[in-house]
Amino acid sequence: MLVMFMLQPVKGTRDFVGEEAVMLQFLIDVIRRTFERYGFTPLETPAFEYLELLTKKGGKDIEKEIYSFKDKSGRELGLRFDLTVPMARVVASKKLKKPFKRYQIGKVWRYDQPQAARWREFMQADIDIVGSSSPLADLECLKPVVDIFKELGLDFFIKINNRKILESVVRSFGIEDITTAFRIIDKQDKIGWDEVKKELKKNFPDKDIDALIDTIKKNDLSVLLLDEEGEQGLSELKELLDLGKIVGIDDFLRIDMSLVRGLEYYTGNVFEIMAGLDVSVGGGGRYDNLTEVLGGEKEPATGISIGVYRLLKVLQDKKFVPPKKKKVYVAPIGETRAEALQILNKLRANNITSEIDVMNRSLSKQLEATDADIVVIVGPKDLSNKQVTIRDMKTGKEKKAAIDKIIEEVMKA
Amino acid sequence: MLVMFMLQPVKGTRDFVGEEAVMLQFLIDVIRRTFERYGFTPLETPAFEYLELLTKKGGKDIEKEIYSFKDKSGRELGLRFDLTVPMARVVASKKLKKPFKRYQIGKVWRYDQPQAARWREFMQADIDIVGSSSPLADLECLKPVVDIFKELGLDFFIKINNRKILESVVRSFGIEDITTAFRIIDKQDKIGWDEVKKELKKNFPDKDIDALIDTIKKNDLSVLLLDEEGEQGLSELKELLDLGKIVGIDDFLRIDMSLVRGLEYYTGNVFEIMAGLDVSVGGGGRYDNLTEVLGGEKEPATGISIGVYRLLKVLQDKKFVPPKKKKVYVAPIGETRAEALQILNKLRANNITSEIDVMNRSLSKQLEATDADIVVIVGPKDLSNKQVTIRDMKTGKEKKAAIDKIIEEVMKA
């Protein structure tokens, strides 16, 4: 016998069973249907990639988190840590028609410290538009996300910023190592502003860090003195806000000058989706250099990613119940299994979710065990009258129905 | 710049882009919808498991094929090689209501020699019923598979056998090491009967291998002299055939006494789905000991697995075209982007797949590039009359439509 912990999923990973699995599937369906409505088409890429590809542009923090291994021929591989790098690889390697609008919903893996709502295996639902540098492409990624969160009835908002603005601000304080500064500022959510200040001061001892942080925290775009690149970022952000107003999502957008988004590949507008007040359930932004860095042609690109497990948890905390399909249970009494199977056949041929006992149980045990909405009882006496008994499991009411009217009768019930 | 091979998916794995990805998604949808109609509910398990769990019952051949690695804490892990072992783990670790009927559609990994229609990463679509030892449970797994293949319009049949019959036959020739004998017989598809004979003779030099193979190849259940266990297997197989007749799938079932199914965990009826004459696209069978071997209670179980990539290839070879949803493209002329975006909003709110140009292209370029069925042209002159122009891209015909009737007009077009 195996030790019991081997019967558990590996630390940081999860099983989804029963109601929870149904809910996950429901959520994936809502997301996918919305993405498709916006003209995104699917992409499917492998779970693992060459390690060198994965470490090319994710940044140092992500590199430590990659599940890496050698295959039996000695290839150095790694499980993907997001869906953006594999997508950029596909774009860099193929001549695809632009704009390339794809969605991908799949698992990614990061060897992170597991904590509440943070897993080592989790699921992302991504959309990206490659080939357009217009803020309209940013909008076309934000809008479906707003649709999804509205459809799910959630309280949410989306933080937006433009990296060029923050870069310009950081530079205006004499800091040239933007990567390091951003990596520290990005930790603000986790460690708070005081710690961010400390770390910045340690890294940039001769700069006026207090004033820098004050400027960021003030979060007022109108008072900034920006260089040309900063002005460019500001105009991109403003265009996105204007477009948001046109399509009616401006109420959900909030400027947050401190927003960096962890991964190093972002270059312009960035987003973070917040459920309730403070739960991040996804984000994204513009990354105009990624395909070039990977060895392809330079392509402007933008995208957004929903953390599916995170979102699921938000829904579960709200006791969200997904809609349930009507289910029928066919219960033979005595030697009527053949007739019951034929009725079952008919129900399924008419797209009605239906089941039959496979445990050889008595009728009362069957009625006790089933979670169906309707039970079709197939007894010898009814059969001799070419009928069955239909029982509504909610009310307990029963009625007779002719076998050749079974579909209509079940639909009505 | 990365060397170009790094822009390719790792050997034995695949990308699905554009039409091919749409087709894959369509296929998954058909499979899932059918499984759900039969009352199966989803299960989701992690991509990797403890290596010891995976090597517990798959058999020696599979052990060599596992992608194994250590995580950063030194845990010995492996990518799952099928969906059955993880499912059995879940069953063994939890008190689940029986019968437990689950489906799972997901990727699995085997470090196999890649060849035509054989990949190192591939997708399986599984259904299993745990808790029932009845051949009716076998039927409830076979029937949805028949539905799927019929819905896809494929030529197919399902080989069926019962391991107990073959075991009894092998034993009747004095062979006690069933595992070794089965492993050799299982290779018949790949290496042919002559090689199977040679290998059997090498392993069992004092047995009448020629007569054994003749008996198997004759494939006639009525002439076998079976021991008690063999008779039990025969009766299970016959009951399954009888049930198949009742639900009208008997035409698709063919007895094949040589059928073993590779994995060692099978114990009773076994199945193999064949597309055309000789392409295996899945299979399964009964495995009554697996949960016990993994450390849980003994639970009778049966299931079937469809090789999704294999099936996709069969469809592609047949030039199968999945149904396409109507798609609308909204094209602004001049300064009408705001109005175009509002029309787009309305279309999407009404569940119509629709897009807008994000590349700042001229109208003629947009019309050239789009794969939409209908284009809604939003021009300043039309707008002043509160209308737009609707162009049918197949016929090239155009008509005017009032903006407040846009949904009806697009639906009609």
Phi, psi for residue A63 in degrees, rounded to 5: -60, -40
**Which band of pLDDT confidence, cut at 50, 70 and 90, is reported for residue A1?**
very low
Cross-chain Cβ contact A21/B43 below 8 Å: yes
Identify the closest residue of chain B to A242 by CA–CA distance. Answer: B338
Hey, CA dihedral for A193, A194, A197, A199, is it positive or negative? Answer: negative
Strand order in A353-356's β-sheet? A353-356, A327-332, A374-378, A387-392, A398-402
Cross-chain Cβ contact B99/A359 below 8 Å: yes
Question: Does the pLDDT of residue A366 top 70, yes or no?
Answer: yes
CB pairs under 8 A between A and B: 242
Cross-chain Cβ contact B18/A41 below 8 Å: yes
Cross-chain Cβ contact A136/B352 below 8 Å: no
Question: Does the pLDDT of residue B23 top 60, yes or no?
Answer: yes
- Round to whole Å and give the CA distance between A154 and A144: 14
Distance from CA of B308 to the nearest CA of A (A): 13
Distance from CA of A3 to the nearest CA of B (A): 8
> Is-contact B221 B165, C-beta < 8 A?
yes
Distance from CA of B27 to the nearest CA of A (A): 13
Write down the mean pLDDT value for chain A. Answer: 93
Beta strands in A31-168 (DSSP E): 41-42, 48-50, 68-70, 76-79, 100-109, 121-130, 156-162
Which chain A residues have a beta carbon less than 8 Å from that of B294?
Answer: 2, 7
Q: For residue range B351-402, what is the model confidence (pLDDT) as tens digits?
A: 999 999 999 999 999 999 999 999 999 999 999 999 999 999 999 999 999 9
Cross-chain Cβ contact A69/B67 below 8 Å: yes
In this complex, the residue of A47, A137, A359 whose CB is nearest that of residue B132 is A359
Cross-chain Cβ contact A325/B36 below 8 Å: yes
In this complex, the residue of B36, B89, B342 whose CB is nearest that of residue A7 is B89
Distance from CA of B399 to the nearest CA of A (A): 24
Which chain A residues have a beta carbon less than 8 Å from that of B296?
Answer: 7
Question: Does the pLDDT of residue B117 top 80, yes or no?
Answer: no
Q: What is the pLDDT of residue B246?
A: 97
- Round to whole Å and give the CA distance between B297 and A205: 64
The DSSP element (H or E) to which B164 belongs, if any, is helix B163-172
Domains of chain A, each with CATH number or no CATH: 9-317 (3.30.930.10), 327-412 (3.40.50.800)
The DSSP element (H or E) to which B157 belongs, if any, is strand B156-162
Cross-chain Cβ contact A47/B4 below 8 Å: no
In this complex, the residue of A15, A248, A337 whose CB is nearest that of residue B45 is A15
Q: What is the pLDDT of residue A58?
A: 62
In this complex, the residue of B136, B294, B337 whose CB is nearest that of residue A7 is B294
Identify the closest residue of chain A to B132 by CA–CA distance. Answer: A359
Burial A28-44 (b: 16+ CB within 10 A, else e): bebbbebbbbbbbbbbb
Q: For residue range A27-60, what is the model confidence (pLDDT) as tens digits?
A: 999 999 999 999 999 999 999 999 999 988 666 7
B116's CB contacts (< 8 A; 6+ apart) are: none
Which chain B residues have a beta carbon less than 8 Å from that of A13?
Answer: 46-48
Give the strand pairing for A76-79 and A48-50.
antiparallel
- Interface probe, candidates B44, B90, B151, B308, chain A, greatest A C-beta count within 10 A: B44
Q: Span A247-252, mean pLDDT?
A: 96
Which chain B residues have a beta carbon less than 8 Å from that of A102?
Answer: 17, 21
The DSSP element (H or E) to which B198 belongs, if any, is helix B188-203
**Which band of pLDDT confidence, cut at 50, 70 and 90, is reported for residue A63?**
confident
Q: What is the pLDDT of residue A399?
A: 96
Distance from CA of B71 to the nearest CA of A (A): 7
**Tokens for B213?**
């193979």
Q: What is the complex's ipTM, to 2 decimals?
A: 0.94
Q: What is the pLDDT of residue A22?
A: 96
- Interface probe, candidates A23, A32, A37, A102, chain B, greatest B C-beta count within 10 A: A37
